[in-house]
Amino acid sequence: MMLPDGVERDYPLARLTTVRTGGTAELFARPDEERKLAALLGWAASEGLAVAVVGSGSNLLVSDAGYRGLVVKLDGQLSGIERQGTRVVCGGGARLPSAAAQAARWGLSGLEFGINIPGTVGGAVKMNANAYGGELGRVLEWVNVCTAGGVERREPSQLGFAYRRSNLQPGEVVSRGSFRLSEGEVAEIKGTLAEMRGKRRDAQPSGIKTFGSTFKNPADDRRAEGRTAGQLLEAAGCRELRIGGARFSEKHANFVENAGGATTADILALMAEGRRRVHARFGISLEPEVQVLGEIEWPDTWDLPG
């Protein structure tokens, strides 16, 4: 197969994720303009290749066997942040904490929630990321979604936002997004950011290799009695439980940590054991929040009795 300019073979993906596990992408590219991204997706479709996108890899678990197909990571213009009046228009690959900090310097309020979400605009839209009640959908005005067929603009009402999900399909890449913000005092907005960072430092481990929340909090379930996934895992004795190089964090039981030399298989085994223990104790089946890239094999213990 003849590869277009900039497409590489056997690209290691672990370093593009915050947990640092997993294999290689069969093919990999860093498109830096919408036009080039659309052309690349068109080429992949014509070759019958599956396509996946990596943002900051902050909620991503890559199979140890890697990914068969084309993985893209947005670069250049597609990770830029610009001001248009009271709007901030970002590339899908722009980092949300950078966009939040830049908006604060411009005296624009509404993106503060992004300061603690270590993902990109595209990843945040895909995951409907959220923190401390700040709603992505409230400030998001539109996104450009790029596919093999070209670029299409969508509004939040068309994105099917629900708890940690959207209706974006594999192969649909968020290439740009516009946030409609309001004018505020620079000092006040920066103060809010500092406060939010402080709160986060107290609540979550820092400086560890993790993909954030492993499991979603259970939907309104009487058996959960309002408890979060982290609280259920902790009550089921999972804090600091370790399999291979993977363990549930000491500070936050819903965070899996690569404590050194972990493989994705270690993490899957740990997740299965955590889920089994919560089910045995509370009868609740936790569902993963973390997104998987490539073919994975859950251990047999993933299937719960009953």
Ligand X SMILES: Cc1cc2nc3c(=O)[nH]c(=O)nc-3n(C[C@H](O)[C@H](O)[C@H](O)COP(=O)(O)OP(=O)(O)OC[C@H]3O[C@@H](n4cnc5c(N)ncnc54)[C@H](O)[C@@H]3O)c2cc1C
Min dist. Cβ of residue 219 to ligand X (A): 16
Q: What is the dihedral of CA 49, 73, 160, 219, to 10 degrees?
A: 100
The active-site residue, picked from 34, 234, 273, 289, is 289
Interaction with ligand X in 6-65: which residues (CB under 6 A)? 18, 52-60
Distance (Å) of CA 182 to CA 31, 259, 292: 31, 42, 36
CA-nearest of 199, 229, 195 to 215 is 229
Cα Rg of the chain (Å, integer): 20
Interaction with ligand X in 106-125: which residues (CB under 6 A)? 116-120, 122-124
Is residue 130 a contact residue for ligand X (CB under 6 A)? yes
CA distance 267 to 243: 8
CA distance 81 to 156: 20
Tell me which H or E stretch contains 199: helix 186-203
Q: Which of 41, 174, 246, 265 binds ligand X (CB under 6 A)?
A: 174
Min dist. Cβ of residue 93 to ligand X (A): 6
CA distance 231 to 97: 27
Closer to ligand X by CB, 81 or 282: give it.
Answer: 81
The active-site residue, picked from 68, 87, 164, 242, is 164
Q: Which of 212, 218, 230, 288 binds ligand X (CB under 6 A)?
A: 212
Stretch that binds ligand X, among 149-157, 183-191, 208-216, 270-278 (CB under 6 A): 208-216
Where residue 20 falls (left for φ over 0; alpha for ψ -120 to 50; beta otherwise) is left
Instruction: Return all residues near 180 (Cβ < 8 A) that are at least 6 apart.
Output: 86, 87, 110, 139, 140, 141
CB atoms within 10 A of CB 298: 14
The active-site residue, picked from 166, 178, 213, 249, is 213
Min dist. Cβ of residue 125 to ligand X (A): 7
Is residue 259 a contact residue for ligand X (CB under 6 A)? no
Closer to ligand X by CB, 93 or 276: give it.
Answer: 93
Stretch that binds ligand X, among 179-187, 206-214, 260-268, 278-286 (CB under 6 A): 206-214
CA distance 196 to 249: 21
Q: Is 164 a catalytic residue?
A: yes
Min dist. Cβ of residue 248 to ligand X (A): 14
Closer to ligand X by CB, 41 or 124: give it.
Answer: 124
Min dist. Cβ of residue 108 to ligand X (A): 20
CA distance 62 to 210: 13
Stretch that binds ligand X, among 187-195, 207-215, 239-247, 279-287 (CB under 6 A): 207-215
Is residue 126 a contact residue for ligand X (CB under 6 A)? yes
Closer to ligand X by CB, 54 or 236: give it.
Answer: 54
Q: Which of 69, 92, 171, 218 binds ligand X (CB under 6 A)?
A: 92
Min dist. Cβ of residue 176 to ligand X (A): 9
CA distance 266 to 270: 6
CA distance 224 to 172: 35
Active site residues: 164, 213, 289
Interface with ligand X (CB under 6 A): 18, 52-60, 74, 92, 116-120, 122-124, 126-127, 129-131, 168, 173-174, 204, 210-212, 291
